[in-house]
Amino acid sequence: MSIRKKIKKRKYAIVFGMTVTIFIFGLLVGSMFTTQKLADVRDLQDTLRSDTLDLEVTYTLLEQDPCEYVNMSLLVEDLQDVAERVDFLEGELGKDDDNVLRLKKYYSLLQLRQWLFEERVRTECAQNQSIILYFYNNEPGTCPSCEEQGFILSYLRKKYGDDLSVYSFDIQTQSEAVQAVIRRHAIEEVPSIVLDEELLVGFHSTDELELLLE
């Protein structure tokens, strides 16, 4: 009167197959989204590059009162949009992803270019905003206070708006220009801040920085 328990191997195999299929589908769709996002960021960067060139050339061409016509705030915003997206992708794809590294390098160059232009405009137009260059290393374990320092600088940038510009550089970036800036300011440790050409080594708190910004 007892029963013999059979296993329907075929059913297990079919369900396994379905699960694997869904998994592969998930990986493919995820990869599609990633490709699209990388393309979006590259587009943003290209647009920013051409807009920057537009502004620089305009500035150079204008003979009378170029300072009145030059307004960098849109470029600053666009650069910030790029930064957020590159950060996001670095989080999603990992620090060592090739695509991420390439985007970071392009982004660093766009930063350098905007910085140089801003320095020039600041001098020639007698503007009085502060400019901070921030050097960090986000390789896990190399710089424990870098993340906090970056957070403080983001906060200050938002708080002071147009009166403060912050440009951040990962010292591991494989770029001649970035390495040149590092050498020029004799950066040896991270985190390091260059505030209006004054070098500050190590972690600096919000209060310390606000004092210096006055």
Partner 1 sequence: MKIDIGFIIFAVAIFVGLFFTIYTLITVYENWGRHRTPLLRKKEPRVCVIIPCYNECLTVARTIESVLALDYPRRKLEVIVVDDGSTDDTYAAAKKFEKRGVTVYKKRNGGKHTALNFALKKTTAPLVGALDADSTVAPNALRKIAWYFRKATVMAVTPSMKIDIPKGFLRRIQSVEFILGIYLRRVFADLGSQHVTPGPFTIYRKEFFEKHGFYRKAHMTEDIEVALRIQAYHYLIENATDAYVYTHGPSTWNALYQQRLRWYYGFISNLWDYRRLFSKEHGNLGLFILPMSFFSLAILSSVLVYTLTKMTSSFVQNMYQYWLIGFDFWELLEWNFSTFFINTSPIALLGIVTLLLGVSVIMIARFFAGEKKILWSYILFALFYSWLYVFWWVNAFFHKVFKHKPIWGHKSNTGV
Instruction: Write out the residues near partner 1 by the rule CB under 8 A.
Output: 1-7, 11-12, 15-16, 18-19, 22-23, 26-27, 29-31, 33-34, 37, 40, 81, 84-85, 88, 91-94, 97, 148, 151-152, 155, 158-159, 205-206
Exposure string of 147-178, with b = 16+ CB inside 10 Å and e = fewer, is eebbebbeebbeeeeeebbbbbbbbebebebb
What are phi and psi for residue 169, nearest 5 degrees? -130, 125
* Residue 11 vs 183, nearer CB to partner 1: 11
- Rounded to the nearest whole angstrom, what is the least distance from the CB of residue 196 to partner 1 in the complex? 21
CB of 41 to partner 1, least distance (A): 8
CB nearer to partner 1: pick between 156 and 190: 156
- Least distance (Å) between residue 39 CB and partner 1: 11
Minimum Å gap between C-beta 25 and partner 1 is: 9
Cβ proximity to partner 1: between 38 and 112 the closer is: 38
Measured from the CB of residue 29, what is the shortest distance to partner 1 in angstroms?
6
Q: How far apart are CA 196 and CA 49, in angstroms?
A: 25
Residue 13: in which H helix or E strand, if any?
A: helix 9-61
Which of 29, 125 has the CB closer to partner 1? Answer: 29
Closest CA to 212 of 135, 160, 146, 151: 160
